[in-house]
Structure 1
Amino acid sequence: MNFKGLFFLCIVILLGFSLKAQENVEPVFPKMGKNDTIRVASTNDNGIMIPWMQLNDVSIFAARIWKSPAEQAAYNRLRYNVLKVMPYALFAKRRYEQLEQDLIVNTEKRKQKELVKACDKEIKEMFNREIKELTIAQGQILTKLIDREVGRTTYDIVKQTKGGFAAFSYQIIARVVGHNLKSTYDANQDRDIESIIRTSGFYQ
């Protein structure tokens, strides 16, 4: 064995002893006060236990400066429309998640068709009762928000539950009245919508 090999062997042996010695060292915990009753996680930093806890994300938004009254008015209209349709997007998310769970539990084709039909009926009833009164702008925002919440476009949802022909037919009708069921959501491109959602308390 040459000198270099012997040198590295000595280092490995010393490191092994060092690591073994560290394993036998009792960790040092911080002293607890009389009011310290909350259990938290801790990290061993060279034998010293450092307590820590994960905090919720905090979004900080600066006061917006408007270039003109018209720009502020446009933002106010957008805010009104987002707040108007966001509950429908959240409903679609919850209903679609429930449908997916039901389809996983019930593997029988006949039962799955019944579940899809019930979901479709429930959504149609809501459409006839409330959503049909939305403006074109509100409908366009809703299709984006469904993609944001569900992770799939309205077109994809219809295609999965009703089939490709139904999705194609619905898309033709939607395009006639100024909608696009294939609209997707981009948090950067739709940053005003994202800001409105995050500052409106929907996820508190």
Structure 2
Amino acid sequence: MKNFVFALFGFFITALSFGQITKEPVKTEIQEVEVDTAFTDTIQLEEVFINRGNFEYIDKKDFQLLQNRVYRVYPYAKVASERLTFLNKNLEKLKTNKEKKKYFKLVENYMENEFTSQLKKLSRKQGQILVKLIHRQTGFTTFDLIKDYKSGWKAFWSQNTARVFNINLKTQYQPFQVNEDFLIEVILDRAFSMGRLVEQKPAFDIDMDALMEHWEKGKK
């Protein structure tokens, strides 16, 4: 039963990989019991400035597009991480593997009914960002989460299918190494401080001051 709870993500991303991934949607409507503005509001993009460092990281329009995508998918990664914690606590109370499998199946069916149709509406790029944010919030790649619960073969098959849509389930979130990940972290930090997104601590520490200094030095 090691890492049994990670089966949640086997479904969560498999639905994204195997579903029909659409072109970037202009507007979408998502309903979720978790209160989060990114799930209930139409996103109104505002003027965006990175006010630390005298250099340009990305074209403003591209930055706004990335911001829109992050706003769209971050709540999924947040909710999924919360469900993992909840599931883990409940599974620890169950005594036998049979009880745990039965309980998990019930939760998996609920998650499928709740999220499958919404995940299928994500664009390829949104799917790529979701995979990164799942790693940010859980500390595990989506590939490893599927492998831990389903099987190595299921993870392999899921990875091959996802790659058809240009999604790599092994992708890690690396804001100190990957410029896009750094920009995502800037967007998240700003959204949290403005109350635009509900903050959930990542699975690993991210020092924003050190991150900004790292990229500022790299641009000199």
Structure number with greater Rg is 1
Runs ≥4 residues deviating over 6 A: none
Compared CA separation, residues 74 and 163, structure 1 to 2 (3 A): same
Given the alignment of the two structures, is residue 198 of structure 1 paired with residue 189 of structure 2, yes or no? yes
User: For 2:120, what is the secondary structure of its paired residue?
Assistant: helix
In 1, the alpha carbon distance for the partners of 2:64 and 2:54 equals 13
* Other-structure match for 2:61: 73
Instruction: List alignment gaps of at least 5 residues for structure 1.
Output: 1-60
* Other-structure match for 1:62: 51
- Which moved further from structure 2: 147-156 or 82-91? 147-156
Higher RCO structure (Cα 8 Å, ≥6 apart): 2
User: For 2:167, what is the secondary structure of its paired residue?
Assistant: coil
Deviations 1:2-42 (A, max 9, x none): xxxxxxxxxxxxxxxxxxxxxxxxxxxxxxxxxxxxxxxxx
TM-score normalised by the chain length of structure 2: 0.59
* Other-structure match for 1:168: 156
Deviations 1:131-187 (A, max 9, x none): 110000000000000000011111122222222222222212111111111111112
TM-score normalised by the chain length of structure 1: 0.63
In 1, the alpha carbon distance for the partners of 2:71 and 2:137 equals 14
Amino acid at match of 1:193: I
* Other-structure match for 1:110: 98
Deviations 1:176-202 (A, max 9, x none): 111111111112221100011111123
Alignment of 1:1-204 (within 5 A): 62=51, 67=56, 71-188=59-176, 189=178, 190-201=181-192, 202-203=198-199
User: For 1:133, what is the secondary structure of its paired residue?
Assistant: coil
How many residues align? The count is: 143
Instruction: List alignment gaps of at least 5 residues for structure 2.
Output: 1-49, 193-197, 201-220
Identity of aligned residues (%): 32
Amino acid at match of 2:76: Y
User: For 2:169, what is the secondary structure of its paired residue?
Assistant: coil
